[in-house]
């Protein structure tokens, strides 16, 4: 579009659109401007607390931003971050992310360029992605890995029985409360057996990943990383919780298995020590959890200086707008590592979000439209209302009923 009145351009509206076309609650921020037809979209999805994010966007972010210049992205990000005095946290950061990504979308539309061009241009033509393969036994996981390989994927995350695995559960004590039970020790043993089987059957021409999801004690994480060395994982993800991050020093001194961490980090400053002290190989940051593209670009630059690669979080509870933002950043980041991918190929998703990134032969591509290149059909989005229900998968317990981090 041709911008008629760039001088005096202001933000006129900031709204949060809620939709769940695939049954996952998504939050997308729409920033409108005084230039007719000029607006931007940003991902603000914190699916477990989406209503709180909507309140933060419309009751706090919107009044603060209306009347301001949408071109001053850095100034708006910095001022909105400190406007409530207390900083960071998943609700504020996701709300701020929606604003930030939308402002970058507007910036691209003003320039008439896709976002990756504003970030310095392409470092690669396509973005390699990884998919998730699961199964009840090693043979079923192998079968599902092969299906993805036939589709052209060469990076595949392998789990067996979901997070925590299929560890055989002994009898529980009496009156145990409800929850998702697992046996950490049995799980750790099953992971080694899984990758022993996969490498024996698949060889080493496919890159394999695994997500521990904090399901073992820190010392067991060290032991597991050492035992997985012969299978040359592309990386082992979240083997310790953020609260136990110093354990990575011990793990690093004893194992060469590549480590990826960080989807639970909120404050970008949490990354400084793990990156600068060479404790991690990949950052798994959730871009909306950081506060948007502005802090994510700075984190990527920090990582480049210390030989750490990016692997932005990309599950189903990132909106297609967020996935598009990930891919644009991946294209322009020299120290890019890999991108998680959840699909985005259902008919409802495509109808609600025209312009989704495309996957061909294991690579993700964005279109060359200005900005993010993705839009939202608000009438279609309204057909898929969000449902506010208690989150159950995070209620995770060990054999004796002890609640543990999910």
Cα(238)–Cα(263) distance, rounded to whole angstroms? 8
Of 109, 91, 24, the residue nearest 375 (C-alpha): 109
Q: Is the dihedral of CA 303, 305, 308, 312 positive or negative?
A: positive
Alpha-helical (H) ranges within 266-377 are 272-276, 287-290, 293-305, 320-332, 347-352
Write down how long the chain is: 406
CATH code for the structural domain at 117-370: 3.20.20.120
According to the model, what pLDDT value does residue 84 have?
A: 92
For 341, phi then psi, to 5°, come to -140, 135
213 counts as catalytic: yes
> How far is C-alpha 383 from the chain's CA centre?
25
- Residues 392-405: pLDDT tens digits? 888 888 888 888 88
163 counts as catalytic: yes
> CA dihedral in degrees (292, 59, 45, 163; nearest 10)?
110
Of 165, 153, 152, 156, the residue nearest 192 (C-alpha): 165
According to the model, what pLDDT value does residue 1 have?
A: 63
Total-model pTM:
0.96
Q: Which residue do the tokens 């998703």 mark?
A: 349
Helix (H), strand (E) at residue 237: strand 235-237
Per the CB < 8 A criterion, the answer to whether 42 and 101 are in contact is yes
* Catalytic, out of 163, 181, 187, 231: 163
Q: Is the dihedral of CA 32, 37, 38, 40 positive or negative?
A: positive
Of 5, 4, 9, the residue nearest 66 (C-alpha): 9
According to the model, what pLDDT value does residue 145 have?
A: 98
Residues 6+ apart with CB under 8 A from 44: 16, 27, 28, 29, 53, 57, 94, 95, 97, 98, 288
Low-confidence ranges of the chain (pLDDT < 50): none
User: What secondary structure does DSSP assign to 345-371, as a single string?
Assistant: -SHHHHHHSTT--EEETTEEE---SSB
Task: Name the E strands within 9-99.
Answer: 11-19, 26-33, 39-43
Neighbours of 39 (CB within 10 A): 22
According to the model, what pLDDT value does residue 395 have?
A: 87
According to the model, what pLDDT value does residue 170 have?
A: 58
* Catalytic, out of 197, 210, 213, 323: 213
According to the model, what pLDDT value does residue 364 have?
A: 98
């Amino acid at each position: 579009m041709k911008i008629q009145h760039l001088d005096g351009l202001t933000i006129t509206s900031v709204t949060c659109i809620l939709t769940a076309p695939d049954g996952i609650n998504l939050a997308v921020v729409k920033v409108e401007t005084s230039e007719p037809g000029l607006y931007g979209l940003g991902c603000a999805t914190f699916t477990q607390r989406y209503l709180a994010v909507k309140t933060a966007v419309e009751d706090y972010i919107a009044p603060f931003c209306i009347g301001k210049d949408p071109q001053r992205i850095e100034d708006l990000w910095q001022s909105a971050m400190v406007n409530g005095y207390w900083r960071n946290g998943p609700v504020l950061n996701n709300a701020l992310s929606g604003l930030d990504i939308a402002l970058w979308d507007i910036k691209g539309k003003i320039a008439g360029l896709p976002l990756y061009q504003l970030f310095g241009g392409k470092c690669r033509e396509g973005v390699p992605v990884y998919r998730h393969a699961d199964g009840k036994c090693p043979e079923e996981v192998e079968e599902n890995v092969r299906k993805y390989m036939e589709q052209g994927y060469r990076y595949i995350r392998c789990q067996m029985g979901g997070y925590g695995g299929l560890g055989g559960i002994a009898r529980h004590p009496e009156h145990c409360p409800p929850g998702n039970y697992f046996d950490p020790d049995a799980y750790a043993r099953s992971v080694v057996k899984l990758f022993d089987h996969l490498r024996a059957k698949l060889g080493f021409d496919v890159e394999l990943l695994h997500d521990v999801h904090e399901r073992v004690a820190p010392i067991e994480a060290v032991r597991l990383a050492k035992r997985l060395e012969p299978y040359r994982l592309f990386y082992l993800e979240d083997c310790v919780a953020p609260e136990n991050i110093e354990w990575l020093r011990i793990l690093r001194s004893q194992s060469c298995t590549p480590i990826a961490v960080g989807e639970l980090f909120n404050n970008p400053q949490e990354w400084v020590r793990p990156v600068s002290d060479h404790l991690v190989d990949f950052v798994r940051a959730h871009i909306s959890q950081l506060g948007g593209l502005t802090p994510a670009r700075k984190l990527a630059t920090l990582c480049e200086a210390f030989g750490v690669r990016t692997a932005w979080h990309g599950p189903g509870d990132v909106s297609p707008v967020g996935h598009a933002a990930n891919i644009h950043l991946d294209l322009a980041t020299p120290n890019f590592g890999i991108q998680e991918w959840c699909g985005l190929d259902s008919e409802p998703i495509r109808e609600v979000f025209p312009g989704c990134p495309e996957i061909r032969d294991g690579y993700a591509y964005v279109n060359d439209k200005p900005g993010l290149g993705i839009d939202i059909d608000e009438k279609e989005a309204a057909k898929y209302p969000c449902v506010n229900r208690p989150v159950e998968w995070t209620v995770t317990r060990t054999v004796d009923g002890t609640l543990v981090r999910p």
